[in-house]
Amino acid sequence: MSTNWQLCAQNLIFAKSGGDAALKAFLDANLDSVRQVIEGIDPGGADPGAGAGARMVVNISCKHVPAFCELSKNGDPKPYKNAYDLNRVQPERQWVDSLIRAVTGIKPKDLYFAAAEISGTGIRFYGDMTLVLKRATDPATGEDAWNAVSLLDRDSFDLLFEPLRSKIEAEVHRSGRPYEDVAADELRNLSGTWGGDLPDMAWGKVLPSLPVGERRWTTGQIAGHVLEDEDYLEVLRAASFGAADLHEVRLSASDAAAEADIADREANGEAPSIHELEWRQQRREAKRALAALHVPVRVVTTAGRVKGG
């Protein structure tokens, strides 16, 4: 049985408030703020603009963007490739994916990972370009297709490491059940759906990182902690995607500054390294490929509130 994330959110408020009515009022308000940020509702009532709210994002190296665009243009059924498409599956990945299949029903070969993001540049460890997916509609029902998408409140690979590994082992020892069955139950406890659980899962993630007191959290604080470094809410997609499925591509301000610095040094007679020149050229080729398919590219200067009209 999966976790009741709404109940978890209320239990956290009860535990953190400790019977203090004023503190509970601020915690309740901050939970509402998290829900507004996730749903793209501006707290001040202004139109937050297109693309506001939580989005699914995938990070990819600029080196691979032109090939992704070419496959998209040519109608490839899977322009964005997973490890199975590329025949680069590690045994650990196969094992975790078998648990995901047991919990969600998604076959490993059809499993594509993303992250929930507000307004930043994703998990840059996986690549310097952030592919931001458009909201999608289920053609059969006309409803938001994202509502049923499966989520985990952390990286599924955490099942391989402490303390979850010892927790699973202890339950196996206590119950005598197969390790894989217990591990699947643990994964189920970490799971939810985008439409039903994302705001409350996000609340549980940001709460330990933000101050608990008689202050309202800002949109930027919430956005910065929903995805922080490599700590994120994992999205389990049951399909690949192409360039036509992208809302935009986001670039970090630091990478844009690095590109400009390379150009400045070159213009001033300094010699950037071969690695720097190659990376800049790959970035240029990636941007050209995206522009040819009319995919907007935006440099993100701050992962906070974007004021609407």
Residues 190-216: tens digit of each pLDDT: 999 999 999 999 999 999 999 999 999
CA distance 183 to 189: 10
Is the separation of the CB atoms in 253 and 299 below 8 Å?
yes
Predicted local distance difference test score (pLDDT) of residue 209: 92
- The answer to whether residue 172 sits within a structural domain is no
| One-letter identity of residue 75 | G
Structural domain boundaries, residue 199: 5-154+190-300
Assess if residue 140 is contained within a domain.
yes
Distance (Å, rounded) from C-alpha 183 to C-alpha 164?
Answer: 9
Establish if 309 belongs to a structural domain.
no
* Stretch 262-279: mean pLDDT: 94
Over the stretch 151-189, which tens digit does the pLDDT of each residue have? Answer: 999 999 999 999 999 999 999 999 999 999 999 999 999
Least Cα distance to 304 among 248, 236, 253, 261 occurs for 253
- 74: tokens are 């040519």
Among the ranges 31-45, 52-66, 290-304, which has the highest mean pLDDT value? 52-66
Percentage of the chain modeled with pLDDT above 90:
86
pLDDT tens figures, 30-52 = 999 999 999 888 766 655 566 67
- Give the three-class secondary structure for 185: helix
Q: What is the pLDDT of residues 213-240, one digit of tens each?
A: 999 999 889 999 999 989 999 999 999 9
Residue at 262 is within a domain: yes
Q: How far apart are CA 167 and CA 171, in angstroms?
A: 6
Angle among Cα 305, 132, 73 to the nearest 5 degrees reads 150
**Are 214 and 26 spatial neighbours (Cβ–Cβ below 8 Å)?**
yes
- Within-domain flag for 218: yes
Per-residue pLDDT tens for 92-115? 999 999 999 999 999 999 999 999
pLDDT band at residue 308 under the 50/70/90 scheme: very low
The mean pLDDT of 131-143, rounded to a whole number, is: 88
Of all helices (H) and strands (E), which one includes residue 14? helix 5-17
Provide the domain count of the chain. 1
Residue 142: its pLDDT value, please?
81
Cβ 251 vs Cβ 128: under 8 Å? yes
User: What percentage of the chain carries pLDDT values higher than 70?
Assistant: 94
C-alpha angle 252-254-255 in degrees, rounded to nearest 5: 70
In a domain, 169, yes or no: no
Residue 162 lies inside a defined structural domain of this protein: no
Establish if 254 belongs to a structural domain.
yes
Q: Between the CA of residue 140 and those of 61, 78, 111, 135, 196, what are the distances in Å?
A: 34, 21, 21, 16, 20
The predicted pLDDT at position 50 comes to: 62
Q: Mean pLDDT in the chain?
A: 93
Is 56 a residue whose pLDDT tops 50?
yes
